[in-house]
Amino acid sequence: MPVQMIQDHAKKMTHRKPKILTISHYGNLYGANRSLLTLIGALKSQVDWLVICREKGDFTSELDKLDIDYKVLPLAWDVSSKGSQFGKLRYLSKFGMNILLSIYLGILVIRQRIDLIHSNSSVIFIGAFVAFITGRKHLWHIREFVYEDYNLKYNFGRQAFRFWAEKARTLICISKSVYQKRVVDTGIRANSVVIYNGLVHDDKARPKRSKTQVATIGIVGVIDPAKDQLTAIKAVNLLVKSNLPVKLKIIGEIDADPYFDMLSDYVKKHNLENHVVFTGFSKDVEAIYSDLDITLMCSRNEAMGRVTIESMMHGIPVVAYDSAGTSELIEHGQTGLLYKGDEKALAAEVTRLLKDPQLYDAISDRAQTHVRSNFTISQYSKKFLNEVSVALSFPE
């Protein structure tokens, strides 16, 4: 898009900031909402935000702190578990509820002179529908694989997502892997860009944790089979048997009770109670990483890996499964370590770090430099704002 067109539009809107209605799909402070908060905070002086939230929670508490206007509406997801037994009638009732809410939002968009609709996840279609009925442009953040990472399915099939995706002004994919899987491989013909989430506030390196006699290894994320905490526990079991002084902190909310029970049973069966601890969910990022020496990323279908960047940002080496978005973030042996295979392969890479202080320090330094150069909030917000400007400049 020519720069002149963007500048012309900016002149037309000198009387006010662009007003964006953005739609969130849950109330917790997990990755998608944290990334949205980053955008909102960074662009607060340049964008007038109105946030639609599915429920009250930690996310709305943060919006209150930022003095951001929001409304809570019982939006229904357009996905369900692959094993769900709900039939089409259930899906139709959820769809009907969203249609009613869309009409309400459409009126709100017109009355409040909303310029643009932004959806923060691909598990909800309501933003696409509101944009369609109001004639507004739609920016759609694609933050997940859906089928592969969360074991979900679209209620009316993949073609439903494709239908609405092709009506978007721009699909914003958070990694090249997401772009390949969700856009290229499915043949979606829509304007698409890759914008990595920004996490780094500035270019200053964070202080590193002092070395301790017992290495603390962490795995951060909801306790769910997709995050594969079991492989992490099995790897720690091997490390303990090798007489390496380690402990594992599993940091995250329980998303699947049967899986958590299985993890707990494994810990008890192998007498790992003194080496593995479940800490629960924490929204204090600094506190999480101030107590870790190594971070594990065992998910095999990570769309991007916010935890990976957070760890690298704090100078904590990451040992991660070599796939999807994770492979874009880490250069093996340079900014982290990658593994393929099972717990034996994972334990071998962790052992390399524990037994080679020079390798540990080199990876720590390069990782911090890498994220300070490529994943800043400034880059993230500027690229998003450019898409807003382009969308509003594009003729109807």
Residue 9 has a pLDDT of 46
Tokens of 51: 């946030």
Phi-psi sector, 315: left (phi>0), alpha (psi -120 to 50), beta: left
> Three-state DSSP class for 117?
strand
State yes or no: pLDDT of 334 exceeds 80.
yes
State the pLDDT at residue 89.
73
* H or E element at residue 131: helix 126-134
Tell me what pLDDT residue 7 has.
Answer: 42
Q: Which residues contact residue 289 at a Cβ distance below 8 angstroms, ignoring those fewer than 6 apart?
A: 209, 218, 295, 310, 311, 314, 316
Residue in this structure with the two tokens 């095999």, named with its chain if needed: 300
DSSP state of 76: P
Average pLDDT over residues 145-170: 93
- 172-190: per-residue pLDDT in tens? 999 999 999 999 999 999 9
Q: Model confidence over 33-58: pLDDT tens digits?
A: 999 999 999 999 999 999 999 999 99
- Please indicate, yes or no, whether the overall pTM of this predicted structure exceeds 0.85: yes
One-letter amino acid for residue 55 of the chain: E
Q: 196-245: per-residue pLDDT in tens?
A: 999 987 655 566 666 678 999 999 999 999 999 999 999 999 999 999 99
- In whole angstroms, how large is the CA radius of gyration of the chain? 22
Q: Inform me whether the pLDDT recorded for 161 exceeds 90.
A: yes
Shortest CA distance to 229 belongs to which of 245, 246, 251, 214? Answer: 251
pLDDT the model gives residue 85: 61
Range with the largest mean pLDDT of 70-84, 139-153, 161-175: 161-175
pLDDT of residue 210: 63
Name which of 367, 206, 222, 226 is nearest 300 in CA terms.
226
Q: In whole angstroms, what is the distance from residue 73 CA to residue 95 CA?
A: 14
Residues forming beta bridges with residue 277, ordered by sequence position: 249
Do residues 249 and 279 make contact, with C-beta atoms less than 8 angstroms apart?
Answer: yes
For residue 392, what pLDDT is reported? 94
- Tell me the residue type at 17: K
Question: What confidence score (pLDDT) does residue 1 get?
Answer: 42
DSSP string, 269-338: HTT-TTTEEEEE----HHHHHTT-SEEEE--SS-SS-HHHHHHHHTT--EEEESSHHHHHH--BTTTBEE
How many angstroms separate the CA atoms of 161 and 156, rounded? Answer: 9
Strands 79-81 and 152-154, by their bridges, are antiparallel
The kind and range of the H/E element at 378 are helix 377-393
What is the spatial distance between Cα 95 and Cα 304, in angstroms, rounded to a whole number? 29
Q: Which domains does the chain have, with CATH numbers?
A: 3-198+376-393 (3.40.50.2000), 215-374 (3.40.50.2000)
Which token pair is 80?
A: 């369900």
d(CA 24, CA 225): 24
Return the DSSP state at 55.
S
